[in-house]
Every structure is written in C-alpha cells, then in structure tokens.
C-alpha cells in the first residue's frame, strides 16, 4: 500500500538538506523549491521509496538528484539513473553535476551512439552515479564491463515513456541486476498500469507524491487548434512563423516527416535543425545545442525529443502532426511554459482526427480552442528530395480505426468539434468564432566524495 507525501512549507532550508548542498543551491540562484521538490526531497533524504508524479518541467531532476547526492555522500554506495533517451540522459547528467561537481561527484553516462572507450574510462573512474539508457546499460552488463552490485539508490526517470518505447524487458533485467536492498525512486508525468505493477513488485511501500493529476499540463501554456487539410499544413506553419518571433519547436510523427518539414522551413527562410532516430548522437547534440544557443530558430523533432529537451524560453510548440497517444501531447507541450514563463501550443488536426483530439481533451482536462484559419501565404514548390511522398486526400472520420470510447464530452464544444471534423470544414460558424480558453477545467567545507572534481564535458 502506498503512503501519501505531505507538503513541507518554506524554502530549501526546511527540506533536511546538508549545509554544503544548501550553499550550492543558493549560489545557483534557487530560492524556492518547486512543489515536487518540496514534497519529494525530504522523503527521499529519509531513504523512502518514492513515486513522484508531476508535470514536465517542474524540477523532477533535482527532486531525486539532491537526495541521491546527499545519501551517497553519507552512506557511500552508488546511484543508478535510467532514462529513455540519450538527450535526457545528458541533460540529467548536466543538472546533477551542476550541484555535485564542486564536492567531487563523479558520474558516468552510458548511452547508445557514444564511444564505448570513453564510457569504459568513466566506469574505471569508479563513478558515484551512473546515468544511462536501458539498452546501453544492458550492453555493459552483458559484456561484463560493469556490474550493479554496489547500487543502493535506483531512479527510473520518465518511466512511462520507457514503457511506451518497449523497454520493459530491459528494465526488468536491470532491476534483477541491482541489489534487492536499495532505495527506489520512480518519476513521471503520467502513471500507466505497468508503472503501478513495477511499484508493487520492485518497491517497498513507496510514498506517492502527486503534485498534479497524472496527465495534467501546466497552466502556463495556452492551447490552440487548427483543423486543416494536409496540403495546407506547410502554409499555415509559414504563417505562424511570421506571426511569432521567438524560438519554435515543431513535432512530427515520423522521422521522414521531420526531415521534410525541416527542409520546408529552411526554404521559408528560417534557420532550422532536426532531431530524430536517423540522426547520429553528434548530429542530434549539434541540433539541440544550436537551438539552445539561437543558431537555429526552429527545431523539428519526433517524439524522441518530447522529453529530452530542456530549453528555457521556447515561445511556441507546434504539433504539425497530432500525437498518436494523448499522453505524448502533455509531454510535447511541456517543452514550453517552463521556469515560470508562459508559452503557446498549437496543434494541426486533419478532418479525420476528431477522436484523437477528444482523447487529448479528456486526458488533459482542457478544451482546445478551435481557431479559424488565417489567410495563408501562397503555396511554395516542394523542396527537391530523393524520394517524393504523395500527400493524397485526407482520410475520413475514423480512418485510423482508433476506438472513440476513451474520449469525448457532451455539450456544445463537442458538437462543433464533431461537425468540423466530420464535414472537413476548417472554419468555425460565425456564432462560435470566440475564444474557448475560458472554459477550462480547474486543477488542482569538506568534499564528501574526495578526489578531484570532474571537468565540464
């Protein structure tokens, strides 16, 4: 049975943190913990097993990173953090070292696409924390270049995404390789049944800390929906890139689509880069670093980046393709509206995608504002590609065969949405061309590790 975490009032000094870590946190400019940090850090410092559910971009990394550093400094042993993507692993490593580098913390990052030689050297350096993706961790276990016998703190971060990506067999293999006597922490923004099973089978009376209902998006994001034909999407994207002036993250369902969109955006005169599984680790890092630095205004990505991008100040997220799973919508739009800043999420839906939109609204408990199409720029010739894709006419309602049983609400909004999707009409009736965002649902000085600190990689 799960216990319930209680809120702790006050700043970081009320969370049971060691003085050295408090000094570091204050130097980094953190003055007030986020809700997941406020509730999770004291429990994790006590050594309790923990399930943390919080919206993306709310500081989950420090919620487990700070207690892990403090407990390893006091009790020794080793920490292991397992994540679904390379980008997220690198991001977590950077965040943990920001706190721990000054006190001699050593980490090893084990991810696919990176040189094995460097990873072997990091393992030989006896790291305090290992951070990696499931596949590469299993590679090291099978090649006997590493064992996990010394792990006494295990973190599964973005666990629901790892299950979506089919990592469950590898997660079970890793869980069998670590000692049974350990602290286990599991963090995510959504909570599918498979995660509950992991909690039941591999955790000891975990405390559930839920600072927002699973699947709830941040309130700092404004949502908007356009119903468009496929052949209108590039023109609408061009219009939006002219109307907005900040950085833009565009999501595609497929790597082929991401490549095509990136070329189209470049032809529009905007600097653009792409991230998907066909890109090497070096190419993906260059794209992401360039996007963070402002070299690229637009980043086009598949869902591989839905949880691997932490860039402050993204003005707009565009779902060029509506996500297949409603949970992915929450994680995609979580790339904007971060660190207390507002953001905007715009979704393109074709007339046959009414079911998917209603599923998103049901999960996130929001009402997507349907906006009439603005005047679109003239069509551009397609960029020359090695292989052309025939767009073809849009499929009619229900063309993908998804069950409508999960979504839908009664009332005028659903009637209008249904009529728009079923008829293929892309403009609202005159009496409904008003903002719908108001109709939202309410939501509720010694170095402990010794040795030399690692340099910035």
pLDDT tens sequence across 260-276:
999 999 999 999 999 98
3-state secondary structure 415-446: HHHHHHHHHCCCCCCHHHCCCCCCCCCCCCCC
Q: Does residue 386 register a pLDDT over 60? A: no
Most confident of 45-54, 210-219, 437-446: 45-54
Give the integer Cα–Cα distance in Å for 141 and 351.
48
Residues 33/8, Cβ–Cβ less than 8 Å:
no
pLDDT given at position 198: 81
Q: Contact, 328 vs 205, CB < 8 A?
A: no
Half-sphere exposure (Cβ direction) of 361: Cα atoms closer than 13 Å: 26
> Cα(77)–Cα(97) distance, rounded to whole angstroms?
18
Cα separation, 211 vs 198, in Å, equals 21
Give residue 451's pLDDT band: very low, low, confident or very high (50, 70, 90): low
pLDDT for the residue numbered 31:
84
CA separation for the pair 237, 224 (Å, rounded) = 13
Q: List the one residue out of 221, 218, 213, 220 whose CA is nearest residue 444.
A: 213
The confidence score (pLDDT) of residue 256 equals: 93
pLDDT, tens digit, 9 for 90 and up, residues 126-141? 999 999 999 999 999 9
Class in CATH terms, 221-378+410-429: alpha beta
Mean pLDDT of 241-269: 94
Confidence of residue 310 (pLDDT cuts 50, 70, 90): low
The residue ranking higher by pLDDT, 152 or 8, is 152
Strand partners, 51: 186, 208
Structure tokens at 333: 């739009």
Domain boundaries, the chain: 3-210, 221-378+410-429
What is the helix (H) or strand (E) element at residue 183, kind and residue range? strand 183-188
Are 343 and 222 a contacting pair, CB within 8 Å? yes
The mean pLDDT of 425-431, rounded to a whole number, is: 47
Strand partners of residue 348: 226
What pLDDT is stored for residue 338 in this prediction?
Answer: 65
pLDDT digits (tens, 9 = 90+) for 3-45: 434 333 458 988 999 999 999 998 988 888 988 899 999 999 9
pTM for the model stands at 0.60
How far, in Å, CA of 346 to CA of 329, rounded?
11
Options 3.30.360.10, 3.30.2010.10, 1.10.1740.10, 3.40.50.300; CATH for 3-210 is: 3.40.50.300
C-beta neighbour count of 427 within 10 angstroms:
13
């Amino acid at each position: 049975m799960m216990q319930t975490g209680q809120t702790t009032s006050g700043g970081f000094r009320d969370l049971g943190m060691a003085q050295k870590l408090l000094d570091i946190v204050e130097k980094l400019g953190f003055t007030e913990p986020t809700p997941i940090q406020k509730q999770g850090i004291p429990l994790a410092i006590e050594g309790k097993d923990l399930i943390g559910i919080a919206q993306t971009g709310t500081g989950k990394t420090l919620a487990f990173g700070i207690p892990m550093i403090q407990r390893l400094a006091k009790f020794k042993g080793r920490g292991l953090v397992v994540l679904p993507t390379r980008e997220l692993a690198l991001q977590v490593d950077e965040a943990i070292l920001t706190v721990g580098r000054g006190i001699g913390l050593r980490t090893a990052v084990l991810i696919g696409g990176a040189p094995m030689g460097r990873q072997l050297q990091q393992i030989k350096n006896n790291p305090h924390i290992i951070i990696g993706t499931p596949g590469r961790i299993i590679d090291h276990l099978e090649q006997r270049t590493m064992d996990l016998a010394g792990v006494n703190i295990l973190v599964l971060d973005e666990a629901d995404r790892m299950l979506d990506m089919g990592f469950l067999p590898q997660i079970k293999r890793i869980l069998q390789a670590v000692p049974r006597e350990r602290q286990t922490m599991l963090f995510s923004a959504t909570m599918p049944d498979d995660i509950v099973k992991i909690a039941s089978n591999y955790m000891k009376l975990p405390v559930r800390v839920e600072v927002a209902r699973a699947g709830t998006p941040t309130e700092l994001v404004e949502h908007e929906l356009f119903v468009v034909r496929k052949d209108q999407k590039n023109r609408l994207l061009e219009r939006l890139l002219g109307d907005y002036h900040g950085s833009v993250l565009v999501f595609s369902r497929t790597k082929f689509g991401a490549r095509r969109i990136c070329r189209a955006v470049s032809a529009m005169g905007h600097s653009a880069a792409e991230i998907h599984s066909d890109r090497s680790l070096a190419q993906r890092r260059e794209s992401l670093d360039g996007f963070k630095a402002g070299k690229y205004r637009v980043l086009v990505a598949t869902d591989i980046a839905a949880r691997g991008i932490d860039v402050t100040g993204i003005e707009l997220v565009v779902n060029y393709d509506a996500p297949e799973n409603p949970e992915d919508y929450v994680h995609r739009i979580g790339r904007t509206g971060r660190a207390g800043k507002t953001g905007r999420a715009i979704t393109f839906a074709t007339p046959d995608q009414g079911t998917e939109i209603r599923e998103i609204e049901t999960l996130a408990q929001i009402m997507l504002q349907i906006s009439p199409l603005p005047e679109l720029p003239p069509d551009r010739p397609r960029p020359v590609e090695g292989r052309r894709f025939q767009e073809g006419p849009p499929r009619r309602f229900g063309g993908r065969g998804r069950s409508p049983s999960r979504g839908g609400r009664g009332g005028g909004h659903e009637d209008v949405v249904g009529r728009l999707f079923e008829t293929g009409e892309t403009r609202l009736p005159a009496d409904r061309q008003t903002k719908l965002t108001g109709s939202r649902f309410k939501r509720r000085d010694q170095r402990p590790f010794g040795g030399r600190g690692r340099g910035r990689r």
